[in-house]
Amino acid sequence: MTRNKPVSIHDEVHSSSSKEHNESLDIRILTHNIRYATNAPFKGEERWPIRCPRLCSELVFNSIQPNSFICLQEVLHLQLEDILESLNKSSSPGSQWAYIGVGRDDGKQAGEYSPIFYRPSVWHLTRSETQWLSPTPHVPSKGWDASSIRIVTVGHFTHAQTGRKIIVLSTHLDNDGSQSRRESAKIILGEIQTITDTKDVSAILLAGDFNSPPDDGAYQIMTSPDSIMEDIGVKIPEEKRYGNEMTFTSFGYIDNTATRIDFIFSRKDDEVTYRTYAVLANRFDDGVYSSDHRACVADLVLK
C-alpha cells in the first residue's frame, strides 16, 4: 500500500461550525477509461496526440463545477501530465488541479494509473493510498487469474468550506480474469467497510472500469443486497438519465460489442440525493474516438 503524507488542513476546516456541517453540498464525479497511449493502435484508433485535445476538452467542460472529482483509468504518466496541464491551463486563478495515484507496475510512475483529480483549494487531501487487487495488496502484484496488475486508488478529502469529509475511490478491474474481478470487488468492498467502521465520513464514492457487465460476478457482488454500495446509474430513474446506456464501444472494429462496464457507486444510506447521471458520447462529427470507452458523470447532493 502506498500512502501520501497527510496534508495539513486549514484552520477554517478545524473550526467549522455545526451550521456549516449542515449545509448541503453539490458534488460532481466523472469517470473515464481514457485508453492508454499505445504505440500499436487498433483499426479505427487514433494515437494519443490526436485523441488528447478532444479528451481534455471533455474533462474541462464537464468539471466546471468547483466540487468536481475526475476519476480516470488506463492513464500512462505522459497522459497524466498532459491532462493535468490542460486542466490547469483552463482553470481560473486559485482553482488549480492536483491528482493522487501511482503507476500500477511499481507504485511510482511505471504502468497505468487510476488517478483521481481534484482542486486543492476546494478539497483538502488528508490521506491517499493505493491498494493492489491481489492477495498481497500492499505491494505491486498480480492477483488470481488476472492478465494485468490491478489497483484501486483511495482518497480521503475534507471540503474546505464546510468541513464535510468524503472518500473517493478509482479502480480498473481485470478484463480477462473473472475470479480476479470477483476477488477485487470483495477487496474494495472490504476497504470501504473498514473506512465505514473507523471513520465518520459523509459519503463514499467509487468509480471506474469494472470490466464487468451487470450479468457478471463482480458487478453482482458490488450490487448484492449485502453490499454496502449501490449503482447510481440504476438508482436514477431511466427517464432522468442522459446520453447512452453502453459505456464500452471499442474503436468500431475489434471487440465491437457495446457493453456497460463503467460505473459510479455510492455508499448506501448516506444522506445523499442523486440528481443526474449520464453516459457521454466519445465521438462527434469528425469521427475520431476520444477513447474506446464513454465517460460516466453523476451529480449528487450531500444533505
- The DSSP string of 244-282 is -S--B-TTSSTT---B--EEEEEETTSSEEEEEEEE--S
What was the pLDDT predicted at 1?
Answer: 52
Cβ partners under 8 Å of residue 121, min gap 6: 94, 95, 96, 160
Q: Which of 222, 221, 298, 217 has the alpha carbon at shortest distance from 264?
A: 298
Q: In angstroms, what CA-CA distances link 294 with 29, 92, 120?
A: 14, 27, 27
Please name each of the domains of the chain with its CATH number.
2-14+22-302 (3.60.10.10)
Residue 103 φ then ψ, to 5°: -70, 135
Mind giving me the DSSP string for 188-201? HHHHHHHHHHH---
Task: Report pLDDT for 2.
Answer: 53
pTM (2 decimals)? 0.93
pLDDT score at 23: 82
> Could you state, in chain order, the average pLDDT of each consecutive group of 10 residues for the chain (303 residues)?
43 39 88 98 98 98 97 98 98 95 98 98 98 98 98 98 98 98 98 97 98 98 98 95 98 95 98 97 98 98 95
Instruction: Kindly provide the residue ranges of all beta strands, DSSP E only, lying in 66-109, ordered along the sequence.
Output: 69-73, 98-100
On whether the CB atoms of residues 116 and 69 are closer than 8 A, the answer is yes
